[in-house]
Amino acid sequence: MVEAYIHIRVEAGKGPEVIKQLRSLPEVKEVHPVTGPYDIIAKIEVANTKALTDLLVTKMHKIDGIRDTTTSIILD
């Protein structure tokens, strides 16, 4: 299993809808609005790195309002 934090920047005013859509994805275990250079942090769990790529490319990056993401894979 691969666990990671996805740091997300969103378009102005789109945060609540992005959070709602992220919470509907089964791979997303936690979603939090945050301060700092990112607007949202999501913790995800997937089977492997291919599943991580699929989640990012086919699901998360298609959510209206997401500008960009940075992924931090948990090492332990």
Q: Which CATH architecture has domain 2-73?
A: 2-Layer Sandwich (3.30)
Torsion of CA 19, 22, 33, 41, to 10 degrees: -160
Which distant-in-sequence residues (6+ apart) come within 8 Å of 26 by Cβ?
none
The percent of residues above 90 in pLDDT, for the chain, comes to 99
* DSSP label at residue 59: I
Q: How many Cβ atoms are within 10 Å of 60's Cβ, its own excluded?
A: 22
Check whether 3 has a pLDDT greater than 90: yes
**Model confidence, pTM:** 0.92
3-state secondary structure 12-32: CCCHHHHHHHHHCCCCEEEEE
pLDDT, mean of residues 28-40: 98
Per residue in 38-69, pLDDT (tens digit) is 999 999 999 999 999 999 999 999 999 999 99
Check whether 76 has a pLDDT greater than 90: no
